[in-house]
């Protein structure tokens, strides 16, 4: 193998998974002691907790009063599905995809909803499609930040203010780390298990006024499951957006989300969260640029995510990059240095390192030394076996 010494400093937290992500610094179960456990979510205390989560979400993300915020089941996936099944079909739709989750929404539109007028625009991992060519007279479904490719849209400038169709944006690994232009986004979804490190199973659905108008004037041709129904008697079910959830939420998870939101406020809100994520990405990017054996999967710097950073092995002397990347991730997990940093199962082989706001920059910097150690260790092993 190699005689390369192990780095002296370990990350204080080895949690670099891209979902569920690292808890906020200093988190403990004691922070959730005020959870409304054993109480109905429809009781006064339950409703107040859910309403507070909605209010703080609006404050931290700077969501305008024109947009409604609801807590829905089944994580970000449930929120996206709810929007697609409830809103699509009124006009042609353009499906944009440049990674696995976007491709999943394509499958739903084409094979499940069977939308004959769906136009599919796909780009390979690492690239964005030509956003300037998108027809916004159609509805448009896209991910803001591709969690499995590390590719994000730089901004919302490609979306016209006078669009005729709706924009439905899966923003799950962008919310709380990047600027979302809500004036350009009619539907926004995310899960709090990403940038704020919350527990899974709950999604957030944000509806702008144009989306509400569509809901109240259009009825899909297909039946809607109960958990997807956003209207009653042709009118928006306003209770969903006041904390009256469609199904029973975990009040422990809600308390955890409240804790993360309050932590965000204590830092200074969205601006401070973005600064933390940017600093984490910068620390990792400096290492990648100097490494000689790693490269960003996202080809253009302006499209590189500051949260879900996807990396490729670029050393030409590595014969099997997939096996090498898998070995790196396993070695670092065995050392207790980094958990769950292998690339997503459908993505190109490599590493995926979460750099969102709940991660400390010092931990990212410590990780880079361990990445180099693991690389040297594995490469020396390959040479010894040759």
What tens digit of pLDDT does each residue of 315-344 get?
999 999 999 999 999 999 999 999 999 999
Pairwise CA distance, residues 51 & 167, whole Å: 26
Q: Identify whether the C-beta of residue 352 lies closer than 8 Å to the C-beta of residue 310.
A: yes
Q: Identify whether the C-beta of residue 5 lies closer than 8 Å to the C-beta of residue 369.
A: no
Residue 377 has φ and ψ, to the nearest 5°, of -60, -50
Please state, as a whole number, how many other Cβ atoms lie within 10 Å of the Cβ of residue 26. 7
The domains of the chain, with CATH numbers, are 29-266 (3.40.640.10), 270-385 (3.90.1150.10)
SS (H, E, C) 110-141: HHHCCCCCEEEEECCCCCCCCHHHCCCCCEEE
Q: Is the pLDDT of residue 1 over 60?
A: no
Q: Is the pLDDT of residue 2 over 50?
A: no
Which among 203, 169, 199 is positioned nearest to 187, based on CA atoms? 169
361-385 vs 270-291: helix crossing angle, rounded to 10: 30
Which among 218, 219, 253, 237 is positioned nearest to 50, based on CA atoms? 253
What tens digit of pLDDT does each residue of 141-185 get?
999 999 999 999 999 999 999 999 999 999 999 999 999 999 999
Put simply, whether the predicted model's pTM sits higher than 0.95 gets the answer yes
- Band (pLDDT 50/70/90 cuts) for residue 4 is confident
* Structure confidence at residue 29 (pLDDT): 97
Q: Identify whether the C-beta of residue 192 lies closer than 8 Å to the C-beta of residue 176.
A: no
What tens digit of pLDDT does each residue of 276-299 get?
999 999 999 999 999 999 999 999
CA 13 to chain centre: 20
Tokens of 239: 């209770």
Tokens of 126: 């690492």
Pairwise CA distance, residues 139 & 324, whole Å: 42
What tens digit of pLDDT does each residue of 39-93 get?
999 999 999 999 999 999 999 999 999 999 999 999 999 999 999 999 999 999 9
What tens digit of pLDDT does each residue of 217-237 get?
999 999 999 999 999 999 999
Element of type H or E holding 372: helix 361-385
Which among 236, 250, 237 is positioned nearest to 202, based on CA atoms? 250
């Amino acid at each position: 193998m190699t005689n390369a010494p192990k780095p002296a400093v370990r990350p204080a937290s080895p949690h670099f998974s891209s979902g569920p992500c690292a808890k906020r610094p200093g988190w403990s179960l004691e922070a959730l002691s005020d959870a409304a456990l054993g109480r109905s979510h429809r009781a006064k205390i339950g409703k107040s907790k859910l309403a507070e989560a909605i209010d703080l979400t609006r404050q931290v993300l700077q969501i305008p009063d024109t947009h409604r915020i609801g807590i829905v089941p089944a994580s970000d996936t449930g929120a996206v599905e709810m929007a697609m099944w409830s809103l699509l079909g009124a006009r042609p739709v353009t499906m944009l995809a440049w990674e696995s989750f976007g491709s999943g929404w394509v499958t739903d539109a084409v094979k499940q909803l069977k939308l004959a007028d769906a136009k599919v625009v796909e780009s390979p991992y690492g690239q964005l499609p030509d956003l300037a060519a998108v027809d916004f007279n159609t509805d448009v479904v896209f991910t803001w930040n591709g969690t499995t490719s590390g590719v994000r849209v730089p901004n919302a400038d490609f979306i016209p203010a006078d669009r005729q169709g709706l924009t439905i944006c899966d923003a799950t690994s962008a919310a709380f780390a990047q600027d979302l232009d809500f004036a350009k986004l009619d539907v926004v979804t995310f899960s709090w298990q990403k940038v704020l490190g919350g527990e899974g199973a709950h999604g957030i659905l944000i509806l702008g006024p144009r989306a509400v108008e569509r809901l109240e004037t259009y009825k899909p041709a297909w039946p809607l499951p109960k958990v997807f129904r956003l209207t009653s008697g042709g009118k928006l079910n306003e209770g969903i957006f006041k904390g009256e959830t469609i199904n029973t939420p975990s009040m422990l998870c809600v308390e955890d989300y409240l804790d993360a939101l309050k932590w965000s406020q204590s830092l200074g809100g969205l601006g401070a969260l973005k600064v933390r994520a940017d600093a984490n990405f910068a620390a990792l990017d400096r290492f990648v640029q100097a490494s000689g054996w790693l490269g960003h999967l996202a080809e253009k710097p302006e499209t590189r995510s500051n949260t879900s950073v996807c990396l490729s092995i670029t050393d030409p002397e590595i014969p099997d990059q997939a096996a090498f990347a898998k070995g790196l991730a396993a070695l670092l997990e065995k050392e207790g240095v980094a958990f769950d940093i292998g690339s997503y199962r459908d993505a190109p082989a490599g590493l995926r390192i979460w750099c969102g706001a709940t991660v400390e920059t010092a931990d990212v910097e410590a990780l880079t030394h361990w990445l180099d150690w693991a690389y040297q260790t594995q490469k020396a092993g390959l040479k010894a076996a040759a």
